[in-house]
Amino acid sequence: MAKAEAQEAAAGEIISSDPATGREVGRVRKQTPDEVRQAVERSRQVFHMWKTTSFAERRRLVMRAREVILDEMESIAELISAESGKPKGEAIAFEIAPVLDLMQWIARSAEKMLRPRRVGIGLFGLLGRSSRVVYHPLGVVAIIPAWNYPFSIPLGEAVMSLMAGNTVVIKPSELTPLTGVKIGEIFERAGFPNDAVQVVSGAGETGAALVEAAPDKIAFTGSVATGRKIAEAAAKNLTSVVLELGGKDPMIVLADADLEAAANAAVWGAFSNAGQNCASVERLYVHESIAEDLTRRIVEKTGKLKIGPGSDPDVSVGPMSSERQIRIVERHVDDFREAGAEILTGGERRADTLVRMSVASTRTSANCEEASVGTDDLAGGTGDADRSVRAPLIFEPTVIAGATNDMRPMREETFGPTLPICTFVTEEEAIALANDTEFGLTASVWTRDIARGRRIAERIEAGTVCINEHLYTHGIGQTPWGGFKNSGRGRTHGLEGLLELVQPQHIHTNRITLLPDAWWMPYSPTALETFRGFATKFATGSMLKTATLLPQLWKRIKELRRG
Ligand code: NDP
């Protein structure tokens, strides 16, 4: 528990504090594993009622929840900003607006998307058979999000789950617990049945208790290390999981790109939310002929960004969310320096903004273990009494030239405001560099030649590849979101995301029961000959070839009817 331990929390409490000021935002009580189990049980009870509600009723409630959000938009944005540190404008533009859009879309479309559908079954249809697929909800969906989009990610996943007929238990991050509680209140105010959406508060162990409680699906967003643990724990109950994990997303700028657009996008893609985006531009590959021009524009634009608390409307880059996260950024920038890359702008923690910070971390993801520090590690520590120190949490937006893929920070997720730039000569080289990573969440290609951009996009190993855009497609709820390689499993959003939240049931009908099936028992030499015909004629899918099987089929059916 990073910043929460800065204040004197009573046993079993989490105190949420503003990373820009250290001010306490509020506190929540941690739920015990037993309470988490009970929450899942209550969720399952209410599921049996909720799954029978009509799509019209679900739609009405989701649209009502939208109104509640719009009513409270300013205070919700302030809460998100206070807990996560992001500028209030980002909370509105990149959390509230996209989730409102997702809500109206899924409320209106889920019924159509989940309508029972007839499936073509080829030559079986000639035998009087037909097939339909109907979709059933799964039951209880456990949502375990990260802290960087504490509102839009869990809320969007909850709404999609509810529209599919599931009930929901959310375990927010310990860094943003009040935003999680607010999500529960929104559903309550909208009139959802009691316990249809529950929020259980706590740290990693509360998340683990939720996984242990055997929900019917887990939608997890977070680090690769925690995702692995969750997948392992979920396997014990055969609970299926959607994993939305880290990224090291490349931006490829070809020689014919619109440089001004690419420079603006690189700055926004790398530094919005202080770089704490799973789909941030973490590596920029630019054609050597335009590298100098693009880099100059990026450095100029970065120099104009105002840095400070997220509550200031002129601030573009706010504080980072936790001490351990800023430590990772510092380590990566040091690594770049040592490896010979050049820091063109930024590169330092801002000592002019002091915040009260905890130095102990109970969080256990791999990169965080490396980043957690002891009380003595930071100058100005106030000692063991409250285990806190005063340390700045703002890291300057940092542009780095001369990066190469063999440098360590080009291979690990930074999740902070750094933009390393690397050059390439050929298209093949750019693609190889972009794919040279364990991650594959998103990527972008910048070119005026759209056909070429698409060709390159299809060769990049990532769940989303944009041409002349970067980062924002999580905000388009209609499109699937998820990673290749270690960036995840499964999808949220879009039809693909909705289908993760239901189980398809195949209903197969035979309208002709007068004749026995040729494959029924007892078997015989005639049966064997018929089965050969199935393999060599029927299984070709050709009506003509199957027609030549008819005499043999008739012989077999007569045999069966004789008994
Ligand atoms: P973590 O993996 O540390 O935590 C994610 C969530 O899991 C938190 O709610 C955390 O709780 C909880 N948790 C921790 N341990 C356990 C456990 N053993 N069992 C169950 N739950 C547990 O990730 P971060 O919060 O640090 O998030 C940053 C990561 O998330 C980055 O790698 C980023 O790329 C990724 N991310 C991916 C996105 C995507 O769409 N692919 C979107 C956003 C972020 P607590 O916080 O209370 O410890």
Q: Using 50, 70 and 90 to split pLDDT, how confident is the model at 365?
A: very low
Pick from 307, 219, 218, 250: which is nearest to 446 by CA? 250
Average pLDDT over residues 33-58: 98
Give the per-residue pLDDT at 112: 98
SS3 content of the chain, % helix, strand, coil (to 5): 45, 20, 35
Q: What pLDDT score was predicted for residue 391? A: 56
Q: How far is CA 560 from CA 341, 454, 538, 550, 553, in A?
A: 80, 58, 20, 15, 11
Report whether 265 contacts 297 (CB < 8 A). no
pLDDT, mean of residues 48-61: 98
Instruction: Single out the residue of 269, 246, 245 nearest to residue 446, CA to CA.
Output: 269
Residue 368 pLDDT more than 90? no
Each residue's pLDDT tens digit, 134-161: 999 999 999 999 999 999 999 999 999 9
Residue 244 a catalytic site member: yes
- Cβ partners under 8 Å of residue 520, min gap 6: 560
Instruction: Tell which atom from ligand 1 comes closest to the C-alpha of 481.
Output: 40
Q: How far is the CA of 53 from the centre of ligand 1 (A)?
A: 32
- Ligand 1 pocket, residue 439 CB under 6 Å: no
Query: Can you tell me the mean pLDDT for 204-230?
Result: 98
User: What pLDDT sits at residue 374?
Assistant: 34
- Cα Rg of the chain, angstroms: 27
Question: Contact 76/182 with Cβ under 8 angstroms?
Answer: yes
Residue position matching structure tokens 């989940």: 114
Ligand 1 atom with minimal separation from the 203 CA: 47
For the chain, percent of residues with pLDDT exceeding 70: 91
Q: Give the pLDDT score at 22.
A: 86
Q: Which of 361, 365, 438, 441 to mutate to test the pocket of ligand 1 (most atoms within 8 A of CB)?
A: 365
pLDDT digits (tens, 9 = 90+) for 404-443: 999 999 999 999 999 999 999 999 999 999 999 999 999 9
* Per-residue confidence (pLDDT) for residue 546, from 0 to 100: 96
Q: How far is the CA of 347 from the centre of ligand 1 (A)?
A: 26
CATH 3.40.605.10 segments of the chain: 31-246+497-504
Q: Work out the angle at residue 357's Cα, subtended by the Cα atoms of residues 309 and 79, and round it to the nearest 5 degrees.
A: 45
> Does an H or E element contain 169, and which?
strand 167-170
Residue 515: count of CB within 10 angstroms of its CB: 14
Catalytic residue among 244, 282, 323, 427: 244
In the structure, what pLDDT confidence band is assigned to residue 352 with cuts at 50, 70 and 90? low
pLDDT, one tens digit per residue, over 195-207 is 999 999 999 999 9
Q: CATH 3.40.309.10: which residues of the chain?
A: 250-350+394-469
Residue spans of alpha helices (H) in 254-357: 259-271, 291-303, 323-338
Q: Indicate if 368 belongs to the active site.
A: no
How many A from CA of 223 to the centre of ligand 1? 5
Instruction: List phi, psi (to 5°) of 7.
Output: -100, 170
Asked if pLDDT for residue 366 goes beyond 50, the answer is: no
200 close to ligand 1 (CB < 6 Angstrom) = no
**Mean pLDDT along residues 49-61:** 98
Element (H, E) at 508: strand 502-510
Residue 144 · residue 169 · CB < 8 Å: no
Alpha-carbon gap, residue 256 to 452, rounded angstroms: 11
Q: How far apart, in whole angstroms, are the C-alpha atoms of residue 231 and residue 36? A: 19
Q: Indicate which residue of 95, 278, 323, 413 is catalytic.
A: 278
Tokens 């799954």 map to which residue?
51
pLDDT for 10: 74
**Ligand 1 contact, 246 CB (< 6 A):** yes
HSE (side-chain half, CA atoms, 13 Å) at 13: 14
CB of 231 closer than 8 Å to CB of 218: no
pLDDT at 530: 98
CATH hierarchy code of domain 31-246+497-504 = 3.40.605.10
Arithmetic mean of pLDDT over the chain: 92
Please state whether beta strands 398-401 and 388-391 pair in parallel, antiparallel, or not at all (unpaired): unpaired
For range 243-247, the mean pLDDT: 98
Atom of ligand 1 nearest to the CA of 175: 46
Helical segments of 72-143, H only: 73-84, 88-91, 97-113
Class in CATH terms, 250-350+394-469: alpha beta
Ligand 1 atom closest to Cα of 210? Answer: 20
Whole-structure pTM value:
0.93
Q: How far, in Å, CA of 346 to CA of 344, rounded?
A: 7
226 lines ligand 1 (CB under 6 A): yes
Asked if residue 18 lies in contact with residue 82, where contact means CB atoms within 8 angstroms, the answer is yes
Residue 354 has pLDDT above 60, yes or no: no
Residue 146's identity, in one-letter code, is A
Return the pLDDT at 21. 86
At 491 the pLDDT is 98
Q: Are 393 and 85 in contact (CB under 8 A)?
A: yes
From the list 304, 324, 490, the residue with the least C-alpha distance to 415 is: 324
- Write the residue with the smallest CA distance to atom 40 of ligand 1: 244
Reply yes or no on whether the pLDDT at 384 is more than 80.
no
Q: What is the pLDDT of residue 7?
A: 52
CA distance 44 to 216: 9
